């Protein structure tokens, strides 16, 4: 267990276990804590977050099934949150297409720069966004593309350079 020492006004938590990754629910920012204090400000919004790892409680499976049956949209809401966090992580704080600048989050997709995303997604399913959001998967080989640019990228990987490009005219209309 942890040992607490008081030195003047400071409190030291020795042997404390910290979360490997902290996510802010207010602004969907994800970061690795510095592990020097038990609370840290969120880099995105400044809200103070708890960074200590808490012991996991035992699960009541029957109660959990009843709770989920009473709240049918809860898991899809969390999947949307993980997707948004993953987009922010891959885009390094900006959710926009790297080719044409499209900034509509509903059109943005995570693209594998060198292809092969289908094989990875087949094995992970809906856990893929969660792994990215929790910083469990490196994002060096990923980029954000809008759906048209992602389709063009797939065609370029298959057929080589194409004689056209996608131009984003903004959220108010097409170019």
pTM confidence score = 0.68
Taking alpha carbons only, the member of 160, 151, 152, 129 closest to residue 142 is 129
Per-residue pLDDT at 175 exceeds 50: no
Mean pLDDT (the chain, rounded): 83
**Separation in Å, CA 2 to CA 88, 109, 157:** 34, 43, 53
pLDDT tens, 44-67?
899 999 888 877 778 888 988 898
| Whole-number pLDDT of residue 145 | 94
Of residues 108 and 72, the one with the higher pLDDT is 108
Write out the two tokens for 141. Answer: 């080989």
Q: What's residue 168's pLDDT?
A: 80
pLDDT tens digits, 10-51: 665 555 688 888 888 888 888 888 877 888 999 989 999 988
For position 143, what pLDDT does the model report? 94
| Angle value at C-alpha 56, between 14 and 64, nearest 5 degrees | 165
The DSSP code sequence of 54-106 is PPPPPP-HHHHHHHHHH-TTHHHHHHHHHHHHHHHHHTTT--S-TTT----GG
Domain ranges of the chain: 17-54, 74-159
pLDDT tens figures, 100-150: 999 999 999 999 998 877 777 777 777 888 999 999 989 999 999 999 999
């Amino acid at each position: 267990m942890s040992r607490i020492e008081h030195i003047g006004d400071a409190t030291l938590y020795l042997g404390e276990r910290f979360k490997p990754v902290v996510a802010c629910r207010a602004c969907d920012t994800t970061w690795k804590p510095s592990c020097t204090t038990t609370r840290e400000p969120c880099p995105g919004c400044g809200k103070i977050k708890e960074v200590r790892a808490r012991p996991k409680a035992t699960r009541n499976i029957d109660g959990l099934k009843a709770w989920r049956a009473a709240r049918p949209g809860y898991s899809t809401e969390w999947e949307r949150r993980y997707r948004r966090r993953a987009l922010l992580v891959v885009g390094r704080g900006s959710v926009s297409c790297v080719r044409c600048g499209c900034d509509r989050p509903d059109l943005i997709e995570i693209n594998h720069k060198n292809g092969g995303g289908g094989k990875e997604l087949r094995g992970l399913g809906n856990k893929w966004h969660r792994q990215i959001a929790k910083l469990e998967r490196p994002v060096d080989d990923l980029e954000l593309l809008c759906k048209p640019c992602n389709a063009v990228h797939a065609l370029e990987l298959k057929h080589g350079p194409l004689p056209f490009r996608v131009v984003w005219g903004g959220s108010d209309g097409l170019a």
